[in-house]
A and B are shown apart, each in its own frame.
Chain A
Amino acid sequence: MASLIEIRKLRKQFGAFVAVDDVSFSVDRGEVLGFLGPNGAGKSTTMKMITGFLTPTAGTAVVSGHDIGKEPMKAKEKIGYLPEGAPAYPEMTPQSFLRFVAEVRGLRGADRDRRVDEVVSRVSLESHLYVPIESLSKGYKRRVGLAQAIIHDPEVLVMDEPTDGLDPNQKFHVRNLIQKMAPNKATILSTHILEEVEAVCTRAIIIAAGRIIADGTPDELASRSANHNSVLLRLKRESGTQLREKLEKLPGVKRVEFKEDDAGASLHLFSERGRPILKDVSRLAFDQRVEVDEIREERGKLDEVFRELTHEATVKAGREN
């Protein structure tokens, strides 16, 4: 079966500025795609083209088999969209607003009311149903936006920074919600909170200066970090100096960082191409009969990879212009 979302060579130009440049990817049912990138990288612009708000300069998006350019109505029916900042009519109450969206989505009468009740309980909005949206807190406003996006139980869910500006509890709640809905949808969400990607996304795309610069599972991306599978060793100062040379010669070890302080020495061993070296290092220490205070294997961190990749891409784009 074809993917629910297929993006083909999408490009958007505002005057001379290229906001999105030749972006292609696809998202299958059950996948949660995290869209990462620094501000102004083209995340929102891409989402606006997928949902039919902006017309691409070139390329297209196909949603549930409907080309957004050729059959915009059919494609829009399949999409639930939470725009950045969750806009809603401020004078309306969540209840009347959700009813309005449900009606635009073709739901009428008892069907409409049932769906509204369902999404309201899903996002726990019951207590604030009859308060004008303008007087709701940020967290509740976001819930209204989410409820609106899922009111027709869409196959495709697109969310632009769904947790931005929420407190940690609210973030947790929204992420839980996304995870619960994910299995029978194709989901795209943009964020610049990297822990969020690790928490909810099955896949991540990093975009910078309008281009995709990395695409993989969060773990795959994290393993690109120089830190990945590196080993941190703490020991007595004299054993540190003794072991240092031997460790530098150990196969698989690329580089050793050596630090000394009053408490002792610490060695940070970076591995060649991210291969595991923990066993070799501990065996060496054991063979040398050196007493080790602490030994720890480091995982790669997504934010390091993010910083390295986006920095490179931005510098490169700057040079091209």
Chain B
Amino acid sequence: MGKIFVIFKRELGSYFITPLAYVFIIIFLFLSGIFTFNMGSFFARNEADMVSYFRFLPWLYLFLIPAITMRLWSEERKQGTIELLMTLPISLGQAVIGKFLAAWVFTIFTLSLTFPLWITVNYLGDPDNGIIVASYIAAALMAGAFLAIGAFVSAISKNQVISFVVTVVISLLFVLSGTGVVIDFFREWAPDAVVRSISELSFLSNSERMSKGVIDIRNIITYLSMIVCLLIACAITVDMKKAD
């Protein structure tokens, strides 16, 4: 545990040494505002809730989270620091988890900076704060799933641009997996159970459900198992490709 924390601390610190963290936070908050107020018609809906914010969150994650994860392992391999990291007395698992947790905590921190929105809603009306808390938890879990995809992809390529683009594409598949775009492709030939589990993975339908405050234990298990599986895949990939 101690060593995971050492990795975590270094990684998180690195976000804030470089402009990355600040640029990310500003853009995230700026886009959050646009999505909520302009496209989500926050005022026109005349409801005291944050549905207009959470509904667009998957789309925001889609383009911003790969920007965090693209350097996670790609950079490590490109700079050669992976050789240092892997010859220090830490296990591969500790390194993978430490790095992932740093990215996750950073994203959750950014997410929490949208709190003025929550205050606004409470100032203007009388929202169900339980729903909002549930939505935040769901948003944090979804961020974890996006990050795990990105962590895995960045282990595959040394090139950050490739790792960004591929992460966006794979994440997009997950975002849309509940919609016709992806499902129709599988419905033709795959058994019903498979089709249903794929649509179950959809970030969009999950977040739709959760933005209404429905935290289903199934959703949580879906996200957590996705994170675990992808991190295992990430560790295997790092181990295979570390010396390339």
What is the CA–CA distance of A91 and B91 in the complex, to the nearest angstrom? 24
| Number of B interface residues in the complex (CB < 8 A) | 22
How far apart are the CA atoms of A89 and B15 in the complex, in Å?
A: 12
- CB-CB under 8 A from B46, the residues of chain A are none
Asked whether any CB of chain B lies closer than 8 Å to the CB of A56, the reply is no
For A53, the chain B residues whose CB sits under 8 A away are 83, 86-87, 242-243
Q: How far apart sit A103 and B6, CA to CA, in the bound complex (Å)?
A: 7
A92 and B16 alpha carbons, distance in the complex (Å): 11
Which A residues, 79 to 114, have Cβ-Cβ distances below 8 Å to chain B? 79, 81, 83-85, 87-92, 96, 100-101, 103-106
Q: Mark B1-44, 1 if CB is under 8 A from A, else 0.
A: 00100110110011001100000000000000000000000000
Q: How many A-B residue pairs have CB under 8 A?
A: 65
Contact indicator A76/B6 (Cβ below 8 Å): no
CB distance from A57 to the nearest CB of B (A): 13
Report Cα–Cα, A76/B94, bound state, in Å.
15
Question: Is the beta-carbon distance between A76 and B87 smaller than 8 angstroms?
Answer: yes
A48-B243, A52-B86 known; A73-B6 Cβ under 8 A? no
Q: Chain B residues near A101: list those with CB within 8 A.
A: 88
A21 to chain B minimum Cβ distance, whole angstroms, is 18
Asked whether, in the complex, the Cβ of B243 is within 8 Å of the Cβ of A92, the reply is: no
Report the bound CA distance from A81 to B86 in whole Å. Answer: 11
Tally chain A residues at the interface, Cβ within 8 Å: 29
Q: Do most interface residues of chain A lie in helix, strand or loop, or is the interface mixed?
A: loop
Least CB distance from B182 to A in Å reads 37
Task: Say yes or no: B88 contacts A89, CB within 8 Å.
Answer: no
Q: Is the CB of B83 within 8 A of A89?
A: no
Nearest CB on B from A144, distance (A): 11
- CB-nearest residue of chain B to A75: B89
- In Å, the complex CA distance between A59 and B14 comes to 39
Residue pairs across A and B with Cβ atoms less than 8 A apart, 18 shown, are A53-B83, A53-B242, A53-B243, A54-B243, A74-B89, A76-B88, A79-B87, A81-B84, A83-B87, A87-B81, A88-B81, A89-B81, A90-B79, A91-B14, A91-B18, A104-B7, A104-B90, A106-B89
Which residues from chain A sit less than 8 Å from chain B, CB to CB?
Answer: 48, 51-54, 73-74, 76-77, 79, 81, 83-85, 87-92, 96, 100-101, 103-106, 132, 148
* Interface pairs A-B: 10 shortest CB-CB: A87-B80, A76-B89, A83-B83, A103-B6, A51-B87, A77-B89, A87-B81, A100-B10, A104-B88, A81-B87
